[in-house]
Amino acid sequence: MSGVGSKVVAITGASGGIGEATALLLAERGAKIVLGARRSDRLEALAGRIAKAGGEAAYIRTDVKRRDDLSGLVGLACARFGKLDVLVNNAGIAPVSPLDDLRVEDWEEMIDINVKGVLYGIAAALPVFRAQGFGHFVNIASTAGHVIKPTVSVYSGTKFAVRAISEGLRQEAGDRLRVTIISPGFVATDLVDSVTNPEVRAQLAASRDRFAIPPDAIARAIAFAIEQPADVDVNEIIIRPAAQG
């Protein structure tokens, strides 16, 4: 079977940006959506938009730094819709800065959210997928997980880690589970707002405003991977603005 219309999809970081765009697109195509993020008010509003358009959505406050929260997200999908087809590990932050700034708390936050958050998602969903005999992880990395540049080294490290973990998971998954890495370039989201160094934030915001692509471009890439027949595993998609160097 192909398509997304029969699938149950859980998304972390669903309250804005790529997560929100993915939820709206997949719901429009008939998927049942389970929304997770820290901003409950925005999740409630998004679930309302999906319902108003004729779709189905559930939501639960989810902080990916808390393993129990990921278990709750996966549990809600199974309790509400009877299964989980896809987990989109999308939540991430990017408070990038020169290493000389010694913003150690920012480094720790990126590791906790960008790496451990993905691992907690895997820990929550993998036993469910094994029991079902099917399942699909879609893990959001970054072009920063392919190219290292000044000020971005720790963020790049977290996204290289996402790619390494995802590839190892793919090799261990067997022929009934699928694993996809999505590596976006500059996307028009509020991710830049998490940058605590003012000079770097201004530079990144200028680049974003000049050539970033909309979040729904990434949503379409995610949908493409999900809608393939069960024996087709789209392993990695790199998607960036044509103007990005």
Share of the chain above pLDDT 90, in %: 89
Name 104's Cβ contacts closer than 8 Å, sequence gap at least 6.
none
Highest-pLDDT range among 1-5, 112-116, 189-193, 198-202: 112-116
Position 182 pLDDT exceeds 50 = yes
Per-residue pLDDT reduced to its tens digit, 197-245: 888 889 888 888 899 999 999 999 999 999 999 999 999 999 999 998 7
At 55, the amino acid letter reads: G
Query: What is the band of 24 on the pLDDT scale with cuts at 50, 70, 90?
Result: very high
- Report phi then psi at 238, rounded to 5: -105, 125
Query: What is the band of 1 on the pLDDT scale with cuts at 50, 70, 90?
Result: very low
Per-residue pLDDT reduced to its tens digit, 33-46: 999 999 999 999 99
Mean pLDDT (the chain, rounded): 96
pLDDT score, position 2: 57
pLDDT score, position 84: 98
Residue 173, H or E segment = helix 153-173
Catalytic annotation, pick one of 89, 155, 169, 240: 155
Q: How far apart are CA 20 and CA 176, in angstroms?
A: 28
Which domains, from first to last, does the chain contain? 8-239 (3.40.50.720)
At 141, the amino acid letter reads: A
Position 20 pLDDT exceeds 60 = yes
pLDDT score, position 245: 76
pLDDT score, position 94: 94
Question: What pairing do the DSSP bridges indicate for beta strands 56-61 and 177-184?
Answer: unpaired
Q: Could you confirm whether 155 is annotated as catalytic?
A: yes
Per-residue pLDDT reduced to its tens digit, 86-138: 999 999 999 999 999 999 999 999 999 999 999 999 999 999 999 999 999 99
Reference 174, options 114, 219, 131, 130; nearest CA is 130
pLDDT score, position 64: 98
Q: Could you tell me how many residues make up the chain?
A: 245
Position 155 pLDDT exceeds 70 = yes
Name 244's Cβ contacts closer than 8 Å, sequence gap at least 6.
143, 185, 186, 211
Q: How far apart are CA 159 and CA 139, in angstroms?
A: 10
Place of tokens 């998304």: 11
Model-level pTM? 0.95
Q: What residues form DSSP beta bridges with 238?
A: 183
Q: Can you tell me the mean pLDDT for 56-65?
A: 98
Q: Can you tell me the mean pLDDT for 69-74?
A: 98
Q: What is the side-by-side order of every strand in the sheet holding 177-184?
A: 56-61, 32-37, 8-11, 86-89, 135-140, 177-184, 236-239
